[in-house]
Structure 1
């Protein structure tokens, strides 16, 4: 049952990424080349119940996408004829072209480079703000190592945190220190400082 659902999920994603499914069969009139059979499209009268489900996946996907859009977004994609076209149009509208993505990445890298804990900001607030920057970077294809992230966070704190951050640099393997674990460790110190 799980294998069937996984295959169905793969087929649904295929309908989004590659377009409507073509139902194929082996063309027995043509010899196979290098072990690969020659495929031709099945006539509609030859479709099995499973084939019919697969050909309807594009309609199912379009319906799902339509239901998730507000009127404004729907107006922008209503001329698209396949789920793939809708997905590509939405991607373009939401993410922009390559130049837009590059500009967004530059801005988020600058946010990362300039991240500092603000005066009066709690650790939880800084954690939320910094984690948001990391999520943005990841979504734009930029990944930093655990070590780079940990060092950046430790450099972002005011002077009263120096004792803790120096001790952490010496005692922890920063290559294995996840961001959540880093902030959890620092929250105990924030409590000690009485911030």
Structure 2
């Protein structure tokens, strides 16, 4: 059992040579790990997720010789530059890394995605939900914070862990409380 738990944690956290697994129920933490992992791979890597794949601009070029002009009448297309090729290779790397970081139960959802950005956006929408779902999470978490009370018979440490989890959830939904308010709320919740 301990080995299985250790392997599960190892897969979720990832490693120096593989992306962490994105776990939908732990989306905020998982997405942060994946973002940090990708940024560590290089400065242009996270760009692929934020901006989407690089599309080289290929333009027709004028024929250079009389033979080209008489040969077929079609203008040639310029080739991608070295920079274009490097960016497209980075796009492919990021696409692979994010694809491998998707848990098997969510893989069918992203199987038809064509870019790392598309995968990231689909997973974000899946895990965070619509604006209405996000509002509901915010209201629920605010209610949890406002109604915090230590459970009778629980240790101070258990109460603090539960309260800290609520404060973290608040941060994850975009609401941050100052330390004074947080400390006061915890102390008042102890009864």
Take 2:46 and 2:124, find their aligned partners in 1: how far apart are those partners? 15
Deviation at 1:66, TM superposition (A): 1.4
Deviation at 1:44, TM superposition (A): 6.3
Question: In the alignment, is the contact (CA less than 8 A) between 2:144 and 2:166 conserved in 1?
Answer: yes
| Secondary structure class of the residue paired with 1:10 | coil
| Secondary structure class of the residue paired with 1:121 | coil
Change (3 A) 1:17 1:73: same
1:47 lines up with 2:78 in the alignment: no
TM-score, normalised on structure 2? Answer: 0.65
Q: Determine which of 134, 138, 143 is the counterpart of 1:101.
A: 134
Write out aligned runs for 1:107-146 (5 A): 107-146=140-179
Question: In the alignment, is the contact (CA less than 8 A) between 2:54 and 2:84 conserved in 1?
Answer: no
Question: What do residues 33-82 of structure 1 show as CA deviations (whole Å, max 9, x unaligned)?
Answer: xxxxxxxxxx763522x542221222111111111112221101111111
Count of equivalent residues: 136
Take 1:12 and 1:114, find their aligned partners in 2: how far apart are those partners? 43
Unaligned runs of 5+ in 1: 25-42, 159-195
Take 2:78 and 2:153, find their aligned partners in 1: how far apart are those partners? 69
Deviation at 1:8, TM superposition (A): 6.3
Deviation at 1:12, TM superposition (A): 1.1
Take 1:73 and 1:155, find their aligned partners in 2: how far apart are those partners? 42
Take 1:64 and 1:8, find their aligned partners in 2: how far apart are those partners? 10
Larger of the two Rg values belongs to structure: 1
Question: What do residues 137-194 of structure 1 show as CA deviations (whole Å, max 9, x unaligned)?
Answer: 1111011111110110110112xxxxxxxxxxxxxxxxxxxxxxxxxxxxxxxxxxxx
| Secondary structure class of the residue paired with 1:153 | helix
TM-score, normalised on structure 1? Answer: 0.63
Change (3 A) 1:55 1:47: same
Change (3 A) 1:96 1:44: farther
**Structure 1 ranges of 4+ moved more than 3 A:** 5-10, 43-46
1:167 equivalent in structure 2:
none
Write out aligned runs for 1:30-179 (5 A): 45=79, 47-48=81-82, 50-158=83-191
